[in-house]
Chain A
């Protein structure tokens, strides 16, 4: 299943990539493959911006604005004047 096209903020800087393969290991949607010693994005529209790849790229080659892709979380953020967050630790417990 794929979500909207051409919308995610994922960006891979091939110059910084060493081809260690960590992004391909942690990505839950198989967005990356390693070919000829470098990571490559197979289909960017598969990305859900969870941030696992950039978090685990020690070379800083991957940038993504990660966060919760959750309408209720975004509404919470607007109402509370914060970043989108379905904060399960207080208030509404029924999210995620």
Chain B
């Protein structure tokens, strides 16, 4: 039998009635999912099926918002649309959030134009305007989308929570709504992301220092390893935490502009504190000074990827001296540590 002869009941409905409707309320699953993603669990697969969705009861005059198909972006948008009648066009950004996808081109002009065509948007709405999140502007060129599709792109506010005010003001965002900020709660949310980033490397480093602690003039002493191996591990964990927890939390107040130096500053502070708390032999203390500074510096430098204000040119500039400095300090620290065990 020819499959074309099978009647699809969906085809009998008008186009707009076939579009799935989504809730503006997030349920427990949505919230748990968000938490898991922050810790990198199942992050590869936190996607929304691209296409058109309804909020409330939109008609041919209702506005169209476009969003990335990363579920956190989509959830953030829909939960701020209570009581509104709108269309949401979800673009396939490979499950990446708005800003990152825009920077990489996945949330870009061509992709948006393709989504508009695929969803037959010109048949569903009579007007010719779509509202894009402002942070998609590094990927979406409004004038090119207009040329390709006839739709005028209006850049909305940075945050979904301002969308209602944006509509109320007649498609206008205040200067505050157009600015990206980086408040402490946002910075804190990114800590688990960085924590997961270096977890395996960290375990290897910790294990190595634990084993090295057993070195002795006479060879290798198991008892010495067990007895003295915990302090180096504790030290390194403190330096790691200084880099990935204290850096984000105290970012605006830590002196010096390069992130690598912010980390160095914290590494030094941690080293001084640990030396006050635990009196260790001089060479071993010195070796941990070097190691702490390089680890805290490297991890703080890594936070440039999460920050909302570091530029590519700037990060390249600081890495030119920071990487040699971090490698050098680690090497000196490691040599001193081994020496402290052998003398």
Interface residues of A (CB under 8 A from B): 1-5, 7-9, 22, 25-30, 46-52, 55-56, 58, 65-74, 84-89, 92-96
Contacts known (A94-B193, A95-B305); A8 close to B257, Cβ less than 8 A: no
Residue numbers in B under 8 Å from A46 (CB-CB): 309
Cross-chain contact A89 with B137 (CB below 8 angstroms): no
Smallest CB separation, A92 vs chain B (Å): 8
Q: How far is the CA of A74 from the CA of B302 in the complex (A)?
A: 10
Residue numbers in B under 8 Å from A70 (CB-CB): 304-305, 310, 315
Residue numbers in A under 8 Å from B258 (CB-CB): 4
Could you tell me the dominant secondary structure of chain A's interface residues?
A: loop
Cross-chain contact A74 with B138 (CB below 8 angstroms): no
- Lowest 4 A-B CB distances belong to which pairs? A70-B305, A26-B137, A52-B137, A67-B312
Q: How far is the CA of A91 from the CA of B142 in the complex (A)?
A: 31
Residue numbers in A under 8 Å from B257 (CB-CB): 2-5
Cross-chain contact B313 with A7 (CB below 8 angstroms): yes
Q: How far is the CA of A18 from the CA of B257 in the complex (A)?
A: 35
Q: How far is the CA of A5 from the CA of B257 in the complex (A)?
A: 9
User: How many B residues touch A, CB cutoff 8 Å?
Assistant: 56
In the assembled complex, 14 residue pairs joining A and B whose CB atoms fall closer than 8 Å, in A order, are A7-B311, A7-B317, A25-B173, A25-B178, A28-B134, A52-B102, A52-B138, A56-B142, A65-B312, A68-B312, A72-B305, A88-B95, A94-B40, A95-B100
Among candidates B143, B196, B302, B305, residue contacting A68 with C-beta atoms closer than 8 Å: B305
B280 at the binding interface (Cβ < 8 Å)? no
Q: How many A-B residue pairs have CB under 8 A?
A: 153
Among candidates A49, A55, A85, residue contacting B141 with C-beta atoms closer than 8 Å: A55
Residue numbers in A under 8 Å from B158 (CB-CB): 28
Smallest CB separation, A66 vs chain B (Å): 7
Among candidates B95, B100, B251, residue contacting A1 with C-beta atoms closer than 8 Å: B251
B318 at the binding interface (Cβ < 8 Å)? yes
Cross-chain contact B197 with A94 (CB below 8 angstroms): yes
Residue numbers in A under 8 Å from B178 (CB-CB): 25, 27-28, 30
Chain B 313-329 per-residue mask, 1 if CB under 8 angstroms from chain A, else 0: 11111110000000000
B182 at the binding interface (Cβ < 8 Å)? yes
